[in-house]
Amino acid sequence: MLEEYELCGIELEDLRPLFGETADDPMYATYDVSEAQRSRLEEAAEVLIDLKNYDYCIDSNAIGEKEIH
């Protein structure tokens, strides 16, 4: 089963340090969500993240306007 949630109110520059990436990393990879990111991503996705029963990951399919120069 697969569900997708849009992350609202969080920018790429917020995600980079959350996942230990550098300021210039485009984050094209898929990132597994752990307890360290759970709270912030719950807020952005407006959904409860149940890491005990499900696996979660994030990936991007677009770059926001702030990132296009």
Nearest 5°: the CA angle 18, 20, 61 is 70
R_g over Cα of the chain? 12
Locate 63 and state its tokens.
């770059």
Whether 46 maps to a domain, the answer reads: yes
pLDDT at 22 over 80: yes
Whether 7 maps to a domain, the answer reads: no
41-64 confidence digits (pLDDT tens): 999 999 999 999 999 999 876 665
What separation in angstroms does the CA of 66 have from each of 12, 23, 42, 56?
A: 9, 14, 23, 26
Whether 41 maps to a domain, the answer reads: yes
Whether 58 maps to a domain, the answer reads: yes
Q: Report the domain count for the chain.
A: 1
Whether 44 maps to a domain, the answer reads: yes
Whether 38 maps to a domain, the answer reads: yes
User: Whole domain around residue 35: which residue ranges?
Assistant: 12-63
- Which residues are bridge partners to 31 per DSSP? 58
Q: Within a 10 A sphere around the Cβ of 22, how many other Cβ atoms?
A: 7
4 or 63, higher pLDDT: 4
